[in-house]
Amino acid sequence: MKLRETIDTDSMEAGSDTELSETQCNGSNRALIFVLGSIFGTALTATLGLFLNKTSSRSTHHHSSKLYSDPDQERRHSHAVSTHNKRVLNIDSVFRPKLLQSTVILITGANRGLGLALTQTAMKCGARVIALCRSTSPELTQLKPFQIIENIDVQSDSSMELLKSKLNQLKLKVDVVVNSAGYFSKQRESLIDHTMDFSDELKTIDICAVGMLRVTYAMLECGAIRKGSKVVMITSQGGSVEWRDVQSQSGGDYGHHMSKAAANMMGKLCANELKSMGIAVGVFHPGFNKTQMTKKYESIWEKEGAVDPMVGAKRVLHEITCLDMETTGCFINCEDSLLIPW
């Protein structure tokens, strides 16, 4: 099912902070069309999408375009450039830092890469950041976030006990949990090339999927997240099974893709279970970021639109401000705010 009706992000207009949360996220329409698309198919939901966008109070900000992001990364970036898509090319045109002011945000994997960029950007927005990591880095220490909690290994149950103890001491409600700790093997796996590494696959799945669940469970057990909190799973477009026919036509990279698909499933299940508690869960593809983790793809960074982690962090934080109970459980591409199919 390839539904193509949704918001035209090129036409977004900057407004007040209230307008951001009420108009630019387009939560109820996006969630409704997404559900109906799964049931009735493209034709009916395309018509419904046009109707909703035209009759909604948000219609002055959006035109119908397409609901799902393009699976072809190079074509997606090229289209954004040719159409001067502000949302993709200039996140500052829509991002409203004030929406994060005074919020308490807990970030895993905060010592480097996207996690470090998220920490720095959130702090600039006025958020109080609880930075989790196995061991701090000079860059993280220099930022002086509200709290650095070291010795947090998302593979370790004992680390979760330490986390609960530290959070109990802080006695704070955490507004946003960003599960961004990850792992990406440098070795490309292939059946044909005899480069399979099953122990590394299990490690990848444990960190990138089960690890997020451990952290979320620990946060819930100690009462740090409750009604009104948001939990974000940083996964990847690489976890979309449907998109493998475009992005992975030759197969391979089993551990990476299986871990992200597992993380997506976990995020969706968490969203369904925590809905009754008023906790929104986002499943986010952060976009293509120029980090050490993606350096093995350095040769395609430019043509596929890879961005500096600070830009990627703003994209993620923008989607966090848009996340609510109407969009909980949606798989969102932070590059363009559009959906990714499971």
The second-level CATH assignment, the architecture, of 89-333 is: 3-Layer(aba) Sandwich (3.40)
260-308, pLDDT tens digit by residue? Answer: 999 999 999 999 999 999 999 999 999 988 887 777 778 788 887 899 9
More confident residue, 112 or 15: 112
Q: Does 321 score more than 80 pLDDT?
A: yes
55-87, pLDDT tens digit by residue? Answer: 333 332 333 344 999 999 999 999 999 999 999
Q: What is the pLDDT of residue 299?
A: 79
Q: CA 157 to CA 288: how far, in whole Å? A: 31
Collapsing DSSP to helix, strand or coil, 64 comes out as strand
181-223, pLDDT tens digit by residue? Answer: 999 887 889 999 999 999 999 999 999 999 999 999 999 999 9
Q: CA 126 to CA 276: how far, in whole Å? A: 30
**pTM of structure:** 0.81
Q: What is the pLDDT of residue 161?
A: 98
Q: CA 104 to CA 147: how far, in whole Å? A: 10
- The CA-to-CA distance between both ends of the chain, in Å, stands at 11
More confident residue, 26 or 196: 196
Q: What is the pLDDT of residue 45?
A: 45
Of 1-15, 20-34, 51-65, 249-263, which has the strongest mean pLDDT?
249-263
- Indicate the domain borders of the chain: 9-67, 89-333
Least confident of 111-125, 142-156, 300-314, 327-341: 300-314
- pLDDT classification of 38: cutoffs 50, 70, 90: low
Q: What is the pLDDT of residue 187?
A: 80
The values of phi and psi at residue 7, to 5°, are -75, 140
Q: Which one, of 81, 135, 76, 125, lies nearest residue 104 by Cα?
A: 125
